[in-house]
Amino acid sequence: MSGDIAVLGAGMHPWGKWGRSFVEYGTVAARAALADAGIDWTDVDSVVGADTVRGGYPGYVAGATFAQALGWQGARVTSVYAACASGAQAVGAARAQILAQLADVVLVVGADAAPKGFFAPAGGERPDDPDWLRFRVLGATNPAYFGLYARRRMALYGDTPADFARVKVKNAAAGALNPNARYRKAVSAEEVAASAVVADPLRLLDICATSDGAAALVLTSMDFARRHGVADPVRIRAVSTVSPTYPKAVLDLPDIATDSAAAVEPSPHSFRASIARAAYEEAGIGPEELSLAEVYDLSTALELEWYEDLGLCGTGEGAGLVRDGATALSGRIPVNTSGGLASFGEAVPAQAIAQVCELTWQLRGSAGARQVAGARVGITANQGLFGHGSAVVAVH
């Protein structure tokens, strides 16, 4: 039995700050994906919902929440929470159900209504929660964490604020072409440099916003796709949701200490690099075969790190790729053709699903002005707090 499943439909609710329920956003995205697939809601065997923890009780049962909003019809439901990797976990759960022949048609939905400003921990006293501890003990907000990573790159590899700004300029240019993006305006390096410092060396335009938004996919067995008249669909070939390997010797918030390397040598590959390696191994491809990548650009500096983790270049060489234009829309290996989180902002349960939507449109050749010529293979890369890996390989 083939490990491939088909992506018959992709849909989104545009990102922004709309002030409405995440259920409304997810329902819009789901209906768009169903229409794109040419599938009736009653044809869906299973709904997998990526949870939002800020939406109140319904957010914890997202699969059933979206099934109810679309109209109860008896579909099996699953709900997944893995922080920013929730969407990839949802795709993985759907894929497992299809390959196990428990379902022929699965609707995957993620949606969020984000708070204003940066994320804070949920209320209450939780001393066994590392995310609560990093705010309470360190006062380390997400932008502070991003700034530390940027400083690390500057110290180790000689990256500069100008390199970080180039990432924003590149992603803003792509986002300006994307009707689902929140920010659809080109940005200059001078505008990045003139924006307020948030967490030195990162400025406001180096850091992604928090947003409302939703994304959905209709995933099916290959047999169903053929019966439905789609002989050559975009296919998901790998889903990587690996966890770190002990000892994890590079600090990665919300953890506020690393494992000891006194008894065991650390892995030669970082956690993020291991996410991509597992995806490549499962898909039977290497980075040299990629047409494009969608990566988790919480900050401009973090995008450069992903270039290296995906094997697009050697360690410390990420800034060189963006300087050379290799990761721009017209470059050798375009990255974040959607505009990335720089253009969308974070809608946590939706963003890994949105990355697969972008791959789907690119591999179909239907991405419009941001289309990558001849796109055939793409990878997404993401990471959720608490050791949740997230990567999906799609092919056409």
Q: Quick one: how far is CA 301 from the chain centroid?
A: 16
- Position 179 scores a pLDDT of 97
pLDDT digits (tens, 9 = 90+) for 175-204: 999 999 999 999 999 999 999 999 999 999
- Calpha distance 38→91 (Å, rounded): 20
pLDDT digits (tens, 9 = 90+) for 102-137: 999 999 999 999 888 778 777 788 888 888 888 888
Averaged pLDDT for residues 250-278: 88
Averaged pLDDT for residues 46-55: 85
Confidence of residue 386 (pLDDT cuts 50, 70, 90): confident
- For the ranges 213-222, 266-275, 372-381, which has the lowest average pLDDT? 266-275
- For the ranges 23-32, 44-53, 260-269, 276-285, which has the lowest average pLDDT? 260-269
Residue 241 · residue 347 · CB < 8 Å:
no
Q: What angle do CA 328, 330, 331 make, to 5 degrees?
A: 60
Q: Determine the 3-state secondary structure of 278 from DSSP.
A: helix
Residue 364 · residue 358 · CB < 8 Å:
no
Averaged pLDDT for residues 306-310: 97
- Calpha distance 288→276 (Å, rounded): 13
Q: Quick one: how far is CA 104 from the chain centroid?
A: 25
pTM of the predicted structure, to 2 decimals: 0.96
- Position 118 scores a pLDDT of 76
Provide, rounded to the nearest whole percent, the portion of the chain with pLDDT above 70: 98
pLDDT digits (tens, 9 = 90+) for 3-24: 999 999 999 999 999 999 999 9
Q: Determine the 3-state secondary structure of 283 from DSSP.
A: helix
> Residue 352 pLDDT more than 60?
yes
Confidence of residue 1 (pLDDT cuts 50, 70, 90): very low
